[in-house]
């Protein structure tokens, strides 16, 4: 059976480490307080300044 084989967390047949969040094989896991929050395939990186600009933008339209 070929195709898009998905591994589940706890599956003993996987070849590579699998992200418990998205189920993809991955090289890097991201943790917060010891808990996995994602991996290099399901977590996006963003420039802090870009995010900050968008974040502040939300409050500039509220009328305050």
The three-class DSSP label of residue 43 is: coil
Region 23-62 residues binding Zn ion, contact defined as CB under 5 A: 38-39, 42
**Residue whose CB is less far from Zn ion, 9 or 55:** 9
Angle at CA of residue 16, ends 39 and 37, nearest 5°: 20
Q: Which stretch binds Zn ion (CB under 5 A): 4-12, 13-21, 45-53, 55-63?
A: 13-21
Applying CB under 5 A, does 21 fall inside the site for Zn ion? Answer: yes
Q: Are 28 and 40 in contact (CB under 8 A)?
A: yes
The single-letter DSSP state of residue 7 is: -
Asked whether 36 and 17 are in contact (CB, 8 A), the reply is no
The only residue of 22, 51, 53, 54 in contact with Zn ion, by rule CB under 5 A: 22
Q: Which residues bind Zn ion (CB under 5 A)?
A: 19, 21-22, 38-39, 42
């Amino acid at each position: 059976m070929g195709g898009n084989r998905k591994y589940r967390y706890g599956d003993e047949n996987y070849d590579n480490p699998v992200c418990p969040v998205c189920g993809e094989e991955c090289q890097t896991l991201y943790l917060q307080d010891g808990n996995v929050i994602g991996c290099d395939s399901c977590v996006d990186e963003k420039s802090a300044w870009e995010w900050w600009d968008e974040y502040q933008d939300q409050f500039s339209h509220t009328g305050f």
